[in-house]
């Protein structure tokens, strides 16, 4: 992507190293504060009406609310969620670099904010935004394995497909806010990887077409060149046979070749 190459050359010094680690640690802090005072979360959510009233910190603070298993989670799942963000963030930064991870996440944040203000709904959170991080991670590390519920080994690619199926199901059967949240949060993924996905789909189609053509060519090779109109035998069934085309235009083996009429 030329636009991000140019931006990286000129603005890379502005990138925040280990951004997703920082976000994960702030998620941990918010979780602890929530446990001390559950009402604390009400001051962090992305509420367009409250932002218009001067609570501008909500434009950022909503990304620090842990968003797995509900609005907030228990200690074990909170710890797992923070470690998950840390791991995903480190992998993406190794693959993309700090600047591109910053841009990727910022696009998702801006998309989510735009969707919230478009609908006026206070229900938009960082869940889909963090899911877009996971799908980007899956693009680079599809064969990595994680242990679901700390027991069952599952490759990242299969978790990504399963998560995608759930999101598509919700997109088809969910309401307008759900659809808009998905589009807004995954704008970064399609902006970064959409071209590669399209080219991969085109390549798969071309490969499938070539395979079909190859299979049809092989079938053509199996077709016979000669077949007796009377007995149906071919050169493959009886290689010793000789064939001739009679005056009627049909092909016969010598045994069944019509005899020419006798001339008196």
Which one of 187, 202, 217 terminates a domain? Answer: 202
Name 129's Cβ contacts closer than 8 Å, sequence gap at least 6: 63, 105, 108, 109, 112, 185
Residue 220 within a domain: no
27 with 107, same domain: the answer is: yes
Residue 105 within a domain: yes
125 with 255, same domain: the answer is: no
- Number of domains, the chain: 2
Residue 211 within a domain: no
Tokens for 57, please give them.
């910190």
Residue 213 within a domain: no
Tokens for 229, please give them.
């109109």
197 with 240, same domain: the answer is: no
Residue 6 confidence (pLDDT): 80
- Signed CA dihedral, 94, 99, 100, 104: sign only: positive
Q: Quote the CA–CA distance of 123 and 119 in Å, as a whole number.
A: 10
What does residue 252 show for φ and ψ, rounded to 5 degrees? -135, 155
Determine the structural domain holding residue 154 and report its residue range. Answer: 2-202
Residue 68 confidence (pLDDT): 60
Q: Quote the CA–CA distance of 10 and 73 in Å, as a whole number.
A: 40
Domain of 188, CATH number, reads: 1.20.1540.10
Residue 84 within a domain: yes
197 with 235, same domain: the answer is: no
Query: In this structure, are residues 128 and 116 in contact, taking their beta carbons and an 8 Å threshold?
Result: no
177 with 258, same domain: the answer is: no
Give per-10-residue mean pLDDT for the chain (264 aa). 76 88 92 88 91 93 78 73 90 92 93 90 83 92 80 87 92 88 89 84 78 64 72 80 78 78 41
Residue 216 within a domain: no
Q: Quote the CA–CA distance of 87 and 67 in Å, as a whole number.
A: 16
Residue 91 within a domain: yes
Question: How many residues does this entry show for the chain?
Answer: 264
47 with 116, same domain: the answer is: yes
Residue 107 within a domain: yes
**pTM for the model:** 0.73
């Amino acid at each position: 992507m030329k636009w991000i190459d140019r931006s990286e050359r000129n603005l890379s010094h502005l990138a925040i190293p280990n951004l997703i680690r920082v976000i994960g640690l702030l998620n941990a802090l918010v979780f602890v504060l929530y446990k001390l005072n559950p009402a604390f979360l009400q001051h962090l959510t992305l509420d367009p009406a409250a932002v218009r009233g001067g609570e501008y910190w909500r434009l950022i603070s909503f990304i620090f609310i842990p968003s797995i298993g509900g609005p907030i989670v228990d200690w074990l799942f909170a710890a797992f969620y923070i470690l998950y963000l840390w791991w995903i963030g480190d992998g993406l930064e190794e693959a993309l670099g700090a600047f591109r991870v910053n841009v990727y996440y910022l696009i998702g944040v801006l998309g989510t904010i735009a969707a919230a203000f478009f609908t006026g709904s206070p229900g938009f959170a960082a869940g889909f935004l963090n899911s877009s991080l996971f799908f980007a991670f899956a693009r680079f590390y599809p064969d990595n394995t994680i242990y679901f519920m700390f027991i069952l080994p599952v490759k990242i690619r299969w978790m990504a497909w399963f998560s995608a199926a759930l999101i598509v199901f919700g997109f088809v059967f969910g309401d307008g806010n759900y659809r808009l949240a998905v589009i807004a949060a995954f704008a970064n993924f399609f902006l970064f990887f959409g071209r590669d996905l399209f080219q991969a789909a085109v390549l798969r189609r071309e490969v499938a077409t070539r395979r079909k053509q190859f299979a049809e060519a092989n079938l053509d090779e199996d077709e016979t060149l000669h077949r007796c109109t009377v007995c149906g035998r071919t050169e493959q069934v009886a290689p010793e046979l000789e064939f001739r085309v009679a005056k009627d235009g049909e092909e016969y083996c010598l045994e069944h070749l019509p005899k020419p009429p006798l001339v008196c």
